[in-house]
Amino acid sequence: MNRAELCETIAKEMQTTKAEADRFIATMLDCITKGLKKDKTVQLVGFGTFIVKKRAARKGRNPQTGETIKIKASKTVGFKAGKSLKDAV
């Protein structure tokens, strides 16, 4: 399911327009992003938890040349599915 299909499904379920559903999705994603920036975790009980994870600096290899390169430390987002989501899938 892509964003357009999700908007259509939400619009049908909530009996509203696709534009309103799209605004809802955009707002929800924005709130999750802000929550991750501020608190480093967003927990939606029954659905799952978004967590900011730190990746340490490490050495990698350029696949074209075989040259060793340095990869900087970075942050990434992880997701752990909640029990209800796991059971539904």
Q: Residue 40: pLDDT above 90?
A: no
Residue 55: phi and psi, rounded to 5, are -110, 130
**Residue range 40-89, CATH number:** 4.10.520.10
The Cα–Cα gap between 50 and 42 comes to 5
pLDDT given at position 30? 96
Closest listed residue to residue 70, CA positions, set 82, 58, 62? 58
Q: What are 61-75's pLDDT values in tens digits?
A: 999 999 999 999 999
| Confidence grade of residue 39 (pLDDT, cut at 50, 70, 90) | confident
| Confidence grade of residue 76 (pLDDT, cut at 50, 70, 90) | very high
Mean pLDDT confidence for 56-85: 94
